[in-house]
Amino acid sequence: MTDNKSPEQASNSEKPWGGRFTEPTDAFVERFTASVGFDQRLYHHDITGSIAHATMLAAVGVLTNEERDTILEGLKAVKADIEAGTFQWSVSLEDVHMNIEARLTDRIGVTGKKLHTGRSRNDQVATDIRLYLRDEIDVIAEELKRLQAGLLNLAEREADTIMPGFTHLQTAQPVTFGHHLLAWYEMLVRDGERLQDCRKRVNVMPLGAAALAGTTYPIDRAMTAKLLGFDRASENSLDSVSDRDFAIEFCSFAALLMTHLSRFSEELVLWTCAQFDFIDLPDRFCTGSSIMPQKKNPDVPELVRGKTGRVNGHLISLLTLMKGQPLAYNKDNQEDKEPLFDTVDTVKGCLRAYADMVPAITAKADNMRVAAKRGFSTATDLADYLVKKGMPFRDAHEVVGRSVAFGVEQKRDLSDMTLAELQSFSGIISEDVFDVLTLEGSVQARDHLGGTAPTQVRAAVKRARNALKQG
């Protein structure tokens, strides 16, 4: 059997394309050009595509029903060998497609050689990758929803918890922790929409394009597309075998998703440090120090933050891979798989980690509240109060600026000043000013769609849950 020979022993006569060649492939070149070490993960999709292809060939009369049945049973047996771990992958057979076809022919004889009628490895691999990516997109979409559901639960639980909102990482205005979490949720909503939009372009079947120009056999591409669950068959054979836009688009989605997870991670890392101390992460998502016994390091968020660069790199890799290629297929495209596969694995791992971790986050509400009182976070509320009393906004801005300067000098928040002190900056200030200078008054006043008021947070959670169920 071919699989029992080393790459150095294999001859070109054993390769499906070997008839043209007069000397064996150089042993190093054979190893250098082989992809079976990483593309064997496509075995399930390769066999699924071959089953559909053989079924279609029989329907149009290219294969007999008996040949079809023999091929289908043989493919199922090969799949069983792979899943049982008894299949020996051969570098000399280059890739997953030729390995499976060779094993099929070993099992069922000359009928196995008929399977490749009317197709090429070019349209075969393009189909396999689309089938693979479609399945992985569906898995990723479910993990994304699981993370979204966890965020919604946490946001609802912390709808009344007040924390400082930041711009430039400086205290700006008080918000609720629930509102902050819903900002993360909105990022993930856009990610989910991009993922589903990407899936539409993944779910187009290139099989039937053959090497680049189509085939002379009377194939029924609509039938094959239906068997494989594709929305439609591709329109142009040249584009079909050379297009990798769908992989680039997926990696673009992944880069944005990872950017969002990285931003979440940065905040979680900050919030767990002693200087913030806003939240606590469960021990099972953290590690310690080999030398400092007091340390509890937020390794999961840090690692997710680090993996973002890895995914961004894969996106650039695929863009660069495709930028100089003429039509149609080129061997360059073998380099599409490792960046794509690693992107899929990385995204799935990061989403799983976050979907498990987020629901277990504990908010330290007292610490958040103390931090929200620092930095004059209700200054804008005082300016709005003055405007509602009839003062032009720019004048109100000046008044509040002077009152803040006084507070800095006295080391006192606006809400801690006396009425007389506040009236020294403007005579229109009255006792009701303290209703807007409290943290609760500030967040509750922003009671509109998209605002931070607890009632709005709960309403937003309800809408989001309904949308998540429908999606």
Closest CA to 425 of 433, 156, 37: 433
442 is catalytic: no
Catalytic residue among 13, 168, 290, 448: 168
The amino acid at residue 222 is A
Q: How many CA atoms lie within 13 A of 417 on its CB side?
A: 29
Largest CA distance in the chain: 101
Can the peptide bond before residue 172 be classed as cis, meaning omega within 30 degrees of 0?
A: no
* Beta strands 232-233; 204-205: pairing state: parallel
Placement of tokens 């149009």 in the chain: 60
Assign 234 to helix, strand or coil.
Answer: coil
In DSSP notation, 41-100 reads GGHHHHHHHHHHHHHHHHHTTSS-HHHHHHHHHHHHHHHHHHHHT-----GGG-SHHHHH
The amino acid at residue 136 is E
168 is catalytic: yes
Q: Please enumerate in sequence order all residues whose Cβ is within 8 A of that of 216, keeping only pairs 6 or more positions apart, or say none.
A: none
- In angstroms, rounded to a whole number, what is the distance separating the alpha carbons of residues 362 and 279? 5
- At 167, phi and psi to the nearest 5? -130, 140
Q: Please enumerate in sequence order all residues whose Cβ is within 8 A of that of 208, keeping only pairs 6 or more positions apart, or say none.
A: 118, 119, 123, 214, 215, 219, 221, 224, 233, 237, 240
Catalytic residue among 53, 237, 289, 448: 289
Catalytically active residues are 168, 289
